[in-house]
Structure 1
Amino acid sequence: MTTTTLTYAGKRRRQALTTLAFLSPWIIGFAAFFAYPLASTVYFSFMHYNQINPPTFVGLRNWKYVFTEYPLFAPALWNTLWLVVVMVTLRVVFGLGIGMLVTKVKTGVGFFRTAFYLPYLAPPVAATIGFVFLLNPGTGPVNRILGALGINAPNWFNDPSWSKPALTVLALWGIGDLMVIFMAALLDVPKEQYEAASLDGAGAVSRFRHITLPNISPIIMFAVITGVIQTLQYFTQPTVAGNLASGQLSAPGTMVPPGYPDNSTLTLPQLVFTLGFQNFNTGAASVIALVLFAVAMAFTLLLMRRRSGLLTED
């Protein structure tokens, strides 16, 4: 082996070590906060583990229990998928609409931006408590106003048919995060393209379809994917809303079952918490956590392949 070859090999080795040194913070974080927890979840899904005694191998018993014997898994999965499809879609559409509306305002832009963004800053627990009282079927001002207008007001969080729409209204109220993102994307669309389309006689719908959407399609994809991931982790709002609407308050030493009314607000993250930290059934909780991971990956891959029809290309 020649001296030139040894020098080249040493240079390549130094470059590799330098690259590895720069990547090491990400590699350590990935291993500690994703790879290890995921591997542990897979491991515990095949174990009987109550967080007190050592885990014992039980094979597919936890998977069989969750999919065939646990009665709350099916409604929780349905509610979670409903919220992902309906809530994420409405949030993206509503956020884009509000963003377009604010960008068209000529005066008072700062006021409208602040007014639409402030609800997003409200703590989730406080916002949910406020909405439960506003939508209270007996004393809430919303139902009183609807009754005064002659509209048959629903029971909102006390009605299984209206509990998920009520949570969706709460999510639309805090739309400020998506509004800001879409506003930045809309303001970045070249005005020359709008001017050229106007000269060619294109209407508002045609300009939106052929100019606005293609330019902001990466932002739409970002909003949809992050919205799906956040909704699959939906825990605080349905838990607080169900507890308050039911009139049951958690106290030390007590356990309030989630999902009121009639399991209509029950989500998969709530089952993970209930099984893993209240019933100490870590194996079944790990199975549901893996189901959540699989659903998130499926939605993400589907959206990345642009099969959902949410994005358009010219």
Structure 2
Amino acid sequence: MQTQSVQKNNVHKKSRSSLSVYLGQWNAPVVGYVFIAPWLIGFLVLQLWPIIQSFYLSFTEYSLLDAPHWIGSANYENIAKDRLFFNSLKVTFTYVLASVPLKLAAALFIAILLNRSIRGISVYRTLIYLPSLIGGSMAVAVLWRNIFGTDGFINNLVVLFGFTPHNWIGMPETALSTLIILSAWQFGSSMIIFLAGLKQIPSELYEASSVDGAGPVRKFISVTLPMLSPVILFNLIMGIINSFQMFTQAFIVTEGKPYNSTEVYALFLYKKAFGSLEMGYASALAWILLIIIGIMTLLNFIASKYWVFYESESGASK
């Protein structure tokens, strides 16, 4: 019996060693691709293939009901003549230039206030972050439309102080401003990132600046902003990308009205795709948006070398 058990153990060891040798013959990259295969298949099927398809469709006339018909660069030529296209660009750039700085300023201000060791600070951080958890949802957009509606909370507040109520959403002068305020209100994600960046700033820098006689404003300008500049760059780029793709708020709150004053680029693209069934035209619009976002991101990276401070680079220069 003992001999049989020994033989079984030897067979088991040999099988394990042969398996190890077999696996060892595989190249490391091949094994890696096997493990990432689920994600890789999802990326190829659900992301890369639709991207390739949209690029092809941007050179076709396609209405979902018929097969795509190749028309070359006609979609891009028609876009260059489309007055509503340029209007959507104007509205979108106005929205981005106003909402992104306002949102970053609000996020940084609140992050500085929350960067304190006081009792219950974690509760305050959670409560302030809560609106961002549902910030992009349709429910919040509907709520915002009711708040700024003719009989909404804002007008009730205006009447309470003796002023005349205003049609905030129905007037071209103020409709886009309501969407900008909504974007600034959703500062929670940027605030958390700013807060994490503030935690990484060495306290010795503030102590040294205090010895030099620096006040709160000087500390903020000379210590906080330079040390936080990489985080500011990250939030700036992400804010610009998200703002150029803003859709839900404009679709629910204003529907692009009045007089197309809030018809941002993504909403204009949606109307062409699912309103007019001009899928080829919409695909061309999507690629133009991709190029615009890419250019804006590249410009930010180029400009960052003049104002972003990296501690590692400072150490290397020494």
Which range, TM-score by smaller chain?
0.7 to 0.9
2:280 to 277, 280, 283: 283
1:261 aligns with 2:270: no
**TM-score, normalised on structure 1?**
0.82
Equivalent in the alignment of 2:97 = 85
Equivalent in the alignment of 1:272 = 269
Paired residues for 1:48-87 under 5 Å: 48-68=61-81, 70-87=82-99
1:201 aligns with 2:201: no
SS of the equivalent of 1:157 reads: coil
Which amino acid in 1 is paired with 2:48? A
SS of the equivalent of 1:156 reads: coil
Which segment drifts farther, 114-123 or 148-157? 148-157
Residues 233, 304 of structure 2: 8 Å contact kept:
no
Paired residues for 1:135-284 under 5 Å: 135-137=148-150, 139-151=151-163, 154-242=166-254, 258-284=255-281
**Compared CA separation, residues 22 and 207, structure 1 to 2 (3 A):** farther
* 5+ residue gaps, structure 1: 1-10, 243-257
SS of the equivalent of 2:257 reads: coil
How many equivalent pairs are there? 287
Q: Post-superposition shift, 1:173?
A: 2.0
1:125 aligns with 2:138: yes
Cα distance in 2 between the residues matched to 1:307 and 1:152: 46
Q: Post-superposition shift, 1:114?
A: 2.4
**TM-score, normalised on structure 2?**
0.81
Q: Post-superposition shift, 1:65?
A: 1.5
Deviation sequence 1:82-102 (CA, Å, 0-9, x none): 222211111111101111012
Equivalent in the alignment of 1:98 = 110
Cα distance in 2 between the residues matched to 1:221 and 1:275: 33
Paired residues for 1:33-48 under 5 Å: 33-48=46-61
SS of the equivalent of 1:158 reads: coil
| RMSD (Å) for aligned C-alpha atoms | 2.5
Cα distance in 1 between the residues matched to 2:117 and 2:28: 53
Deviation sequence 1:259-289 (CA, Å, 0-9, x none): 1111111112112221122221111101110
Which runs of 4 or more aligned residues in structure 1 lie more than 6 Å from their structure 2 counterparts after TM superposition?
A: none
Cα distance in 1 between the residues matched to 2:277 and 2:115: 51
Cα distance in 2 between the residues matched to 1:302 and 1:13: 44
Which amino acid in 1 is paired with 2:195? M
Cα distance in 2 between the residues matched to 1:218 and 1:176: 18
* 5+ residue gaps, structure 2: 1-23
Q: If you compute each CA radius of gyration, which structure gives the higher value, 1 or 2?
A: 2
Q: Post-superposition shift, 1:226?
A: 1.4
Cα distance in 1 between the residues matched to 2:234 and 2:67: 42
Cα distance in 1 between the residues matched to 2:178 and 2:112: 25
Residues 148, 154 of structure 2: 8 Å contact kept:
yes
Percent sequence identity over aligned pairs = 30
Which segment drifts farther, 163-172 or 31-40? 31-40
Residues 116, 175 of structure 1: 8 Å contact kept:
no
Q: Post-superposition shift, 1:301?
A: 0.8
